[in-house]
Amino acid sequence: MSNKKVNLVTGASSGMGKISAQDLIKAGHIVYCVARSVDKMKDLEQIGGHVMKMDVTNEADIEAVVKQVIAEQGRIDVLWNNAGYGLYGPVEDLPMEKVQQQFEVNVYGVARLTQKVLPYMRDRREGLIINTSSMGGKIYTPLGAWYHATKHAIEGYSDCLRMEVKEFGIKVVVLEPGMINTGFNAAVRDNFSFESQNGPYKRLVNGYIKAMENNPAPGSKPEVISRTVLKIINARNPKTRYLVGHGGKLLVGIRRIFGDKAFDTMMLASMR
């Protein structure tokens, strides 16, 4: 791949995706910024980004975007599957429609887009796929069963994909952000329904909300992710995983060293 790479970035309308897309553009790369809300990406367009609407759960959207990138550039060097969100609440309370949507975006959306891009990378015998997991793909919290399930799924999916595409010169990297200051906690808090705050799991739910509100550590700046993505793209032989951002290495290390029961106790104690 040349130094100037063609990047397709999902979830580019906010947070890590937007900051990183901005920095990729400034670094001289060709960046296709996609998300459901085009209006939120006007600033990326003004600095040279190619802005397109795409819902990762919509097959027609995906096909149209990939077709246009190939028509205009002839290739996709880097696919960054970054779109996703966190669904939180008690397993018993969350309706299965919401659970299915969490998987549609966080897992099946990644799979749909990757399937459409792979033939072009395979034909050129080169390419890089970055899948955004989370430190939540290695650890867990109460009330986050479905979010963590999707991120654990991305970890396993990426490992298998990495081996399948190796012979075609395609690299697969898992990005595992820790706590990043992108408004994630506020979005999680908003997902808790009135019923959950007053239902059988109210002690845990209200303890979780209180813990987030009182959390003195707002997380790392999104630029931590931006720098990491640039490092991955520029690396001749990138690592298979990049665990970066506040609390990531610490919490993953605690679980690995002390085991699940000790980690359970620590998590529950933080939500009293």
Residues 154/174, Cβ–Cβ less than 8 Å: yes
Q: How far apart are CA 77 and CA 28, in angstroms?
A: 14
Q: Which of 5, 13, 138, 226 is catalytic?
A: 13
Q: Which amino acid is at 97?
A: E
| CB neighbours of residue 215 within 10 Å | 12
Catalytic residue among 116, 138, 151, 171: 151
The residues, ordered by sequence, that sit 6+ positions from 32 with a Cβ below 8 Å of its Cβ are 6, 7, 8, 9, 49, 50, 52, 65, 69
3-state SS, one letter per residue, for 14-59: CHHHHHHHHHHHHCCCEEEEEECCCHHHHHHHHCCCEEEECCCCCH
* Distance separating alpha carbons of residues 26 and 152, to the nearest angstrom: 33
- Of the residues 32, 140, 147, 201, which is catalytic? 147
134 is catalytic: no
Our answer to whether residue 37 is catalytic in this structure is no
In the residue annotation, 220 being an active-site residue is answered as no
13 catalytically annotated: yes
Catalytic residue among 18, 20, 88, 133: 133
Catalogue the active-site residues: 13, 133, 147, 151
